Amino acid sequence: MPAEQALTALRQFDVEAATLSVWTLKKSQSKTGRFKAQSVVATTELIEEFKDIASARIDRCAEVDDYDLITQINESSCLFLESDETLFPQMQDVVDQPPEEHLIDDFSDLQGSLGYVARFVHGDGVLYCVCKLPGDWQVKKRKQRINLVLRENRLDLADDETFAISKTFDFFALNGDILVVNRANFESLLEYKQTYISSFAQLQADAAFQGVFSDMALLIEHVGTNTMHLRRMAVVQQRAYYNDANFMAKLQAVNLTRNWKIDFDANGKIIPSPESVRTIIQVLLNHRLHSEMTGDDFDVPSASPVAK
């Protein structure tokens, strides 16, 4: 389903009329799935709170873009991709079980939870609203400080066994589509970063990419395990401008004209330096753009061609 249709379907889902089950998520060591889940019984008040949170966040989604590795999300936008591109089907499998057969037995079962899913069912539709938990949601960490509540204008000690939920969700799944509103938490829960790591490893092994550089050691060190750098390199691999001889020849010429300070050896190979490595990544992304209006060059987070 195209992005706009997926967003329309999400906005049209009747959250208020839906029935709700709540599931906590943990990582699983099973060979058949990456997640395990347990259900919790929610009070009427908590159900209404979840419905309000889901409705409020969905209402703010007025724009949608296809999921691109470095496209940014703003307060009123979301990113679209199909769920089978991710680990979500494995998460879906564990929260589609009968909730009464997987109830949490003890408060300690909440320890180590990675996130939770509010599963809304209305008619034939099932909406999954997913939120990643902060690290301090775990009991053992919360016991390192005192929790307080305000009662009748007085601070009082709160039971240490208390938890907080976020007033938002990180992504929504409906009809096999995913709409992401918090990229970092989405990627963390569904292990998307591992995809970038694997992509960069493949790129380093690509003979054509190796041939662009005199030495890749400094580039590899710069990228390291930084998520944003890994995303950028995944896009470099995806667009593969480095495979285009005309692009690489033009890069050398424009580098001289614009004084981008990228060094090349006698064979036309790029010589990375601490000062130029960021620029090298930007030009391989084709994200260094020239303004005809001011004559300035700009590095941009993403670039969309202007319709002619």
pLDDT tens by residue, 254-306:
999 999 999 999 999 999 999 999 999 999 999 998 888 887 888 877 776 76
DSSP, collapsed to helix, strand or coil, labels residue 162 as coil
Instruction: Provide the pLDDT confidence category of residue 17 given band limits of 50, 70 and 90.
Output: very high
> How close are the terminal C-alpha atoms of the chain, in Å?
27
Q: Are 174 and 127 in contact (CB under 8 A)?
A: yes
* 154: confidence class by pLDDT, cuts 50, 70, 90: low
Angle, CA of 192, 227 and 88, to the nearest 5°: 15
Helices 192-205 and 227-239 pack at an angle, to 10 degrees, of 50
Q: Annotate 279-297 with b (16+ C-beta within 10 A) or e (fewer).
A: bbbbbbbebbeeeeeeeee
The residues spanned by each domain of the chain are 3-190, 194-299
What letter represents residue 130's amino acid?
V
For tokens 């943990």, the residue is 26
pLDDT for residue 158 is more than 90: no
What b/e string do you get for 43-73 counting C-beta neighbours within 10 Å, with b at 16 or more? eeeebeebbebbeebbeebeebeebebbbeb
- pLDDT bracket for residue 26 (50, 70, 90): very high
pLDDT, residue 165, reads 80
